[in-house]
Amino acid sequence: MQDTLKQKVLTGKRLTGEEAVALFRSDDLFTLGRLADHVAQQKNGKYAYFVANRHINPTNLCINRCAFCAFSRSRGEEGAYELTIEEMLRKLEEGHNAGGDRLSEVHIVGGLHPDWPFGQYLDMIAAIRERFPALAIKAFTAVEIDHMAKISGMSVEETLAALKRCGLDLMPGGGAEIFAEEVRAVLCPEKIPGVRWLEIMEAAHTAGIKTNATMLYGHRESVEDRVDHLLRLREVQDRTGGFQAFIPLAYHPKNTAMGGFYSSGIDDLRTVAVSRLVLDNFDHIKAYWIMLGEKISQVALLFGADDIDGTVIEERITHSAGAMTGEGMTRDELVHLLGKAGKIPVERDAFYRHLRVYGAGPS
């Protein structure tokens, strides 16, 4: 790796697109990792975060049917489901009291249901807020928000404001996939374009709703497409500061129309590291253990990541596509994993406030 590039990172200078491409192409994974770890430690010290959360996917019925998605179904198809609000509350009740520990966040993402009216989504959020007043509700991707705006006939701003009034706190980062139009046309021709995704996220930030951002990688995108994606996120973040974390999502090919291969561990680590270096205005890079696997996500903590998500409990999207991980981890398992990476495990809330700092692991 060029010394000038290393110096640039070490002196905190912003990387250009060409430099980011060079980093993705570099075969010096260890130097890349060290540089990314340096930046991660400048931002978060030795802390590594997890959250006591539960994922709920209210329905897998979806009118988009993206080619990379093994989770979605059309009406009448085997395996199609839709949860009632009561069923969602019951799932939360179970998760909330498991092991006597409270959840601090619920993560809700689903398909674009063919008939649910906007009121269904408002009622869902309001019912959760009423039953669990202190639980942070992180719900609906920009793709779902766009769908709700369409079915309600309201603007994105009004849609977001209505959800916020019912109790929505944050939004997850899904649906971004890869912004490059030619690739998006193959992956998810029915999905909103990347520019619309970015516009909705910006509207959420303006409305005071923090969000995450993701990038689906390891399918048919080029290195240039990845860099384009990261730079577009960085540009919005410069304006709004509303993204909390960036999460690179490793493509899982099983049971998908698109097929292909699982990402390699080397590419996973490289993608985490380059993301950490390019997204200089993001505080957190999440190595989502459900997709990366417990062990690669642990190693990713030495390659620029500072968060591995949380207890999760039940996960359908990645598991439909052949995830090799379990569906949930306990607090103790998460603390063990983070500590054994030489980090200081921190249980955080949905806004990265520290709830409990554990003893440092062996370094």
Q: State which of positions 163-222 bind ligand SF4 (CB under 6 A).
A: 188, 191
| Tokens standing for residue 290 | 């459900």
Rounded to an integer, what distance in angstroms lies between the CA atom of residue 359 and that of residue 339?
8
Q: Is 104 in the site for ligand V47 (CB under 6 A)?
A: no
| 174 neighbors 200 (Cβ within 8 angstroms) | no
- Contact residues for 357 (Cβ-Cβ < 8 A; gap 6+): 47, 344, 345, 346
Long-range contacts of 87-92 (CB under 8 A, 24+ apart): 88/56, 88/58, 88/124, 88/127, 88/128, 89/127, 89/128, 89/131, 91/54, 91/56, 91/314, 92/54, 92/56, 92/128, 92/131, 92/132, 92/135
Q: Is 252 in the site for ligand V47 (CB under 6 A)?
A: yes
The interface partner of residue 20, options being ligand V47, ligand SF4, none and the CB cut-off 5 to 8 Å by kind, is none
CB of 254 to ligand V47, least distance (A): 8
Q: State which of positions 162-181 bind ligand V47 (CB under 6 A).
A: 172-175, 177
Q: Is 106 in the site for ligand V47 (CB under 6 A)?
A: no
Amino acid at 148: M
Q: State which of positions 65-84 bind ligand SF4 (CB under 6 A).
A: 65-66, 69, 71-72
Mark the segment that binds ligand SF4 (CB under 6 A) among 61-69, 151-159, 228-236, 250-258: 61-69
Q: Is 64 in the site for ligand SF4 (CB under 6 A)?
A: yes
| 347 neighbors 50 (Cβ within 8 angstroms) | yes
Binding mask 112-151 for ligand SF4 (x = CB under 6 A): x------------------------------x--------
**N- to C-terminal Cα separation, the chain:** 26
Q: Which residue in 125, 187, 247, 274 binds ligand V47 (CB under 6 A)?
A: 247
Q: Is 62 in the site for ligand SF4 (CB under 6 A)?
A: yes
Rounded to an integer, what distance in angstroms lies between the CA atom of residue 181 and that of residue 313?
34
Q: Which residue in 36, 109, 137, 200 binds ligand V47 (CB under 6 A)?
A: 109
Rounded to an integer, what distance in angstroms lies between the CA atom of residue 213 and that of residue 264?
22
Residues at the contact surface with ligand V47, assessed by CB under 6 A: 68-70, 109, 141, 172-175, 177, 212, 214, 216, 247, 249, 251-252, 256, 288, 309, 317-318, 321
Residues at the contact surface with ligand SF4, assessed by CB under 6 A: 62, 64-66, 69, 71-72, 111-112, 143, 188, 191
